[in-house]
Amino acid sequence: MKMPAIWRGTAEPPRRRRAGFTLSELLVSSAVFSLAIMGFVYCQMFGMRQDQLVNSKIGATELARLSFNELCNDIRAAKVWQIGNGSLGSFTPIPLGDNQKGNALKLSMTINTNSYYLYYFDTNACKLYRGHSGSAALKCMAAYLTNTMYFQATDYRGENQTDLTHKGVINVVMQFHQYQYPITKIGPGQLYDYYRIELQATPHVPDGP
């Protein structure tokens, strides 16, 4: 009579039967895992896109605020101002009797009109520059502009001014597309996002044309 084998811990124990995944279970698990990965990737891409849009808007607001503050302060402090066309080296004022509307604004802080600050739009570069009569250096006040840019004077009723009899309101309207690179395309037709900012200011201590 044969005696049953006794396992004393030195030999390998008998293998138990192990259950495995069926093909259908494996397919379902793979599909769920793939959907979860796709969801995580989509959330990451959506978050990066939102971050670009938010940073762009914050940047546009901050840069425009700083530029407009300086422009507004100069307008309010000006003793003499003129609207015209040209650049720092070639400014031509709008003649009296014509609509006071042009791409440049000349601001003299004293009655000496030979000393002045000049703001002008460079329509080719889509930028707003600020310069001084005593220097050839230019400061870029705003970039990435998209509209037809101009300065315009109106009277207290909002009507276009054709002379300098009344020291009216100087209007500036600018539209910006995104400051940040890369530019994020959004909306129908994948259009660029843009911002519109309008400034109205009047000199506080004018002293004649």
pLDDT at 179 > cutoff 60: no
**Nearest C-alpha neighbor of 93 from the set 172, 168, 162:** 162
- Residue listed under structure tokens 């539209």: 175
pLDDT at 62 > cutoff 80: no
Q: Which pLDDT score is estimated for 181?
A: 47
Summarize pLDDT for 146-169 with one digit per residue, the tens: 767 789 888 877 788 887 766 678
Q: Which pLDDT score is estimated for 107?
A: 92
pLDDT at 121 > cutoff 70: yes
Q: Which pLDDT score is estimated for 25?
A: 79
The C-alpha atoms of residue 108 and residue 110 are separated, in whole angstroms, by 5
Q: Which pLDDT score is estimated for 93?
A: 92
Cis preceding linkage at 182, omega within 30:
yes
Paired with 191 in beta bridges are: 186
Summarize pLDDT for 124-150 with one digit per residue, the tens: 888 889 999 988 899 988 877 776 778
pLDDT at 43 > cutoff 50: yes
Mean pLDDT, the chain, rounded, equals: 77
Q: Which pLDDT score is estimated for 130?
A: 92
Mean pLDDT of 66-78: 86
Q: Which sequence spans correspond to the domains of the chain? A: 43-201
Alpha helices in the chain (DSSP H): 23-77
pLDDT at 182 > cutoff 50: no
Look at 4 and 114; give whichever has higher pLDDT.
114
pTM: 0.64
